Chains A and B, each alone.
Chain A
Amino acid sequence: MMDFWIILTAILVASACSILGCFLILRRMALVGDAISHAVLPGIAIAFLMSGTRDSMWMLLGATAFGLLTVFLIQTLQTSGLQSDASIGIVFTALFAVGVLIISLNAQHIDLDLDCVLFGEIAYVPWDTWTLGGNNMGPRAVWMLGITLAVILLLFGLFYKQFKICAFDPAMAVACGIPVLLFHYLLMGMVSMTAVSSFESVGAILVVGMLIIPAATAYLLTHRLGIMIGLSVAVGIVSAVVGYLISYALDASIAGCIVSVAGILFIFALVLAPKNGLIARLARRRSAAQVV
């Protein structure tokens, strides 16, 4: 049963991250995902201090608010003339530092381990259960991730065309009357929700890997957005399951193994991709050379 909950958690993290990751990399916002995943920390800490519990709803709200604040601050710095990479670097490290400060100042009151914040500890997930009216409802993380994934599936199910055109041609989207800013903040809100519900299992650093690596792998393999999203989720889930089995065999960090497997799958795609892979390119060069 332990294994079941851990693998289910990993699969939920992978699915949520892989879908959002596709839109992040297509909008060239991979680093914004990175920034959000760190900057939600003060939101988590403040929500924890204010509510005094690890009640999931408070954490989700607090962290999502900070995620959106991050995006807003980055944009404000950019429009005031700073380069975008510098803006991202300033905002998320500063907010992350505030989070670290709040946690370390209130170490007695906050049951949050900084190591756990950074690297996650998915192995503890099954013990942290949610009790409703005296009934054990299963691990809290699974509920949070399940709700997050449901929100993602619902919003993308309803507004797929809007998210797509906003990613491809935002100017055209504006001209069509699509509220581009609303969909931008919806996407960022979902990234924030995902970051906060995943951070206990894979941590603030590795969640970025789950956001970007499966999506980047899928990007190399297909020319269709729909297929890219499907492949991305597949890569995420395979990484989660295989990563867990490897960590079991090696007795190593689960999250570390999951992201490493994703990295290996990415390298496979990089070498073997049918059109732009290294092998395909070499073969083309060789056949071109033979013609000459």
Chain B
Amino acid sequence: MNQTSTKNAPLTVNGMTIAYQRKAVVEDVSFTLPEGKLIALIGPNGAGKSTLLKAILGLVPSISGEVSIYGDTYKKMRSRVGYVPQRESVDWDFPTDALDVVMMGRYGHLGWIKRPGRKEKELAMNTLDKVGMADFARRQISQLSGGQQQRVFLARALVQEADLYVMDEPFAGVDAATEKAIIALLSELKQAGKTVLVVHHDLSTVDEYFDHVLLLNKKLIAAGPVNTTFTPELLHETYGGKLAIVSSDGKKALVGE
């Protein structure tokens, strides 16, 4: 995260402060994401992780702070950003099927009038196949399991063909198969030179899945490569007393809250 890379970094946040009803939830956060890495955003409940993501994407207002994406404003660079919201954020009883949801990922590219056509359908189908959901393309979304719904959301973001992906707890409440599918996907994205920022809860998998971490508890506690930043001291600082470090099989496991 040196200064020379700042100019065209995938994402630079400068002095971001967000408040709900005059109470600050995120305070003066600044960071720059390195390109082509998998980055975990971690911190205790109520640390403002989701809020920070939403403010970066302009979904909630921020009091102050600047966001630059590949050296330009988010508004101009919108099409280079793929967003995977929390699964609970939508109504899964909505009358639509998996393929249709994935095609929504193309709406941003279609402009005002153009309707999704054969090309979009093909692209969506291929992406569903990539996340192992091709057999469920025509399944109504309420009839999918939690993990399958998450994979549909991932496919919807992938089909946007973005360069920076922002994912809000993609691993929350998913089965082992989905977790594996997401991991495979993340490494594929990384190989393609994409940058992925993930809100993550499971501290025990951070060093296995990610290259970099951002430690957040209202303020940014630390940011950097996993091996230098994901340390017990900094985690204690982030989680306060709510952190237990459990050792089993001689391997260090961390349990947040």
Contact = CB atoms under 8 A, between A and B. Distances in A.
- Which applies to chain B's interface (DSSP): helix, strand, loop or mixed? mixed
Interface of A: 26, 28, 158-162, 164-165, 167-169, 171-178, 219, 222-225, 227-228
A160 B107 CA distance: 11
B83 A168 contact: no
A228 B96 CA distance: 10
B140 interface: yes
Interface string B84-99: 0100011100111100
Interface residues of B, number: 29
Residue of B78, B101, B108 ringed by the most chain A CB atoms within 10 A: B108
Interface in B206-228: none
A175 B90 CA distance: 14
Interface string B18-40: 00000000000000000000000
B183 interface: no
Nearest to B57: A175
22 contacts: A158-B112, A159-B112, A161-B107, A161-B110, A161-B116, A162-B107, A164-B96, A167-B94, A168-B94, A171-B83, A172-B85, A175-B57, A175-B108, A176-B78, A176-B107, A176-B108, A177-B79, A178-B107, A223-B95, A224-B97, A225-B96, A228-B95
Contacts of B75: 177
Contacts of B113: 158-159
Contacts of A222: 95
A219 B89 contact: no
A26 to B, nearest CB: 6
Nearest to A160: B115
A224 B78 CA distance: 29
Given A169-B104, A176-B107, 15 more contacts: A28-B91, A158-B113, A160-B115, A161-B115, A168-B90, A168-B91, A168-B94, A172-B104, A175-B83, A177-B108, A219-B95, A223-B142, A224-B95, A224-B96, A225-B96
